[in-house]
Structures are given as structure tokens and as C-alpha cells.
Amino acid sequence: MHLPRVLLASASPRRAELLTAAGIVFDVMPADVDERRLPGEPPAVYCSRLARMKAEAVAGQAGGRVSLGADTIVVVGEDVFGKPLDGPDAIRMLRRLSGRRHDVLTAVAVVSGQGVTAAVERTSVEFSSIEEEEIAWYVASGEPMDKAGAYAIQGLASRFVTRIDGSYSNVVGLPVAAVCRLLRDVDPQ
């Protein structure tokens, strides 16, 4: 099935790889938006708002294409983990994830001539207990530094994951099936 050409409002190489693997044709134009969470904002509302803001920020330059924004967060209890600020922040996040379940939420928003459509995908991930030496080794690898929750499930952190319930691509950073569902509903013009 033919899906429309997309303007991806993200510089994430992982999102680009996932779109390419799914056969979705796209161009990249990262969006520059304020990613701060509003006081009391629920996690799903927060990531959905950011995905919409990103898609809308590039929509004016889409030249007839559909714009796609996405945002991924990790939720532990009431805490929301985005990308770590630095090594100590990554260590703090990994300590919290160690030996427990957490949720990964990715919101996707599509802006087209028909307006904005959006979805939020939730995947539950369980980590084994991670020793302090393993955390130090992982943070020293540099891999956690630009990842929500300070880990890449498709990378070195795969050794920590004991269970996943939901979309794997969602944890990588883009729920491909949800994106395809939204793009199928776009009226080709």
C-alpha cells in the first residue's frame, strides 16, 4: 500500500532507520520546540503535546507533504525520564530502572491538509537488576546520552531487558504500526 511522502520533524537516526525499514519515504527537518514539561502535566499528555508541536513546527515548510512529529519518554511511577542531562543523570535514571518495570510512551502526530491526527503508544519494559559496575560501564560507553530513559534497547542495553510487552519499535523511538495507521488515513491530494 502506498503511503504519502513524509517530512520528519526529528533528527533522530533511529526514527529515520525505522521509517526506512518500513518503506516510508521521507525527508528530514528537525523541529526546534520547547520540550519542558508543564507543571502537573500527565506523561501521555506531555509527550502528545510535544509530538504535535514538532509536527506543526515544520508543517509550513512541508510543501504539500505530510509532517510527522514524535516524542518518546520513559515513565517510572510518576517520574518522566527524557534524555539525560549528563553522566550523573544517566546513572540516576539507570539506577531507578534497575530491577523493575517501566513504561515507554511515544506520541506521534501527523499534520496534513486534513488537520492533525495523533496517537500515543505505550510499551512496558522490564529490566534485570543492574550492578553499579555495569551502570558505570554502560554510561561510559556514551550510548545512553541521547536516549529517553538513558538506554537504547537495540544497543548495549539489550543485555538489561528481561521482558517487553508491546511495540518494540516504540521503545526504539517510533511505533511504526501506529505511524502507518495514521498515514493510511491521510487523503492523498
Query: Could you tell me which residue, 147 or 63, shows the higher pLDDT?
Result: 147
Give the per-residue pLDDT at 1. 62
- pTM value is 0.92
Give the per-residue pLDDT at 188. 55
The catalytic residues are 71
CATH number at residue 47: 3.90.950.10
Query: Residue 101: inside a domain, yes or no?
Result: yes
All three cell numbers of 174: 517510533
Give the chain's domain count. Answer: 1
Give the per-residue pLDDT at 73. 95
* Residue 165 DSSP symbol: E
Query: Residue 87: inside a domain, yes or no?
Result: yes
Q: Residue 95 in contact with residue 79, Cβ under 8 Å?
A: no
Query: Residue 105: inside a domain, yes or no?
Result: yes
Q: Residue 85 in contact with residue 58, Cβ under 8 Å?
A: no
| pLDDT, mean over the chain | 94
Sign of CA dihedral 34, 182, 158, 43: positive
Give the per-residue pLDDT at 2. 80
Query: Residue 95: inside a domain, yes or no?
Result: yes
Torsion of CA 166, 30, 42, 158, to 10 degrees: 30
Query: Residue 35: inside a domain, yes or no?
Result: yes
Average pLDDT over residues 55-83: 91
Query: Could you tell me which residue, 64 or 108, shows the higher pLDDT?
Result: 108
Query: Residue 61: inside a domain, yes or no?
Result: yes
Give the per-residue pLDDT at 58. 94
Look at phi and psi of residue 35 and say left if phi exceeds 0, alpha if psi is from -120 to 50, else beta: alpha
Query: Residue 1: inside a domain, yes or no?
Result: no
Average pLDDT over residues 51-75: 92
Task: Write out pLDDT tens, residues 33-62.
Answer: 999 999 999 999 999 999 999 999 999 887
Structural domain of residue 176, as residue ranges? 6-184
Task: Write out pLDDT tens, residues 128-165.
Answer: 999 999 999 999 999 999 999 999 999 999 999 999 99
Sign of CA dihedral 166, 170, 176, 182: positive
Look at phi and psi of residue 184 and say left if phi exceeds 0, alpha if psi is from -120 to 50, else beta: alpha
Query: Residue 189: inside a domain, yes or no?
Result: no
Query: Could you tell me which residue, 48 or 78, shows the higher pLDDT?
Result: 48
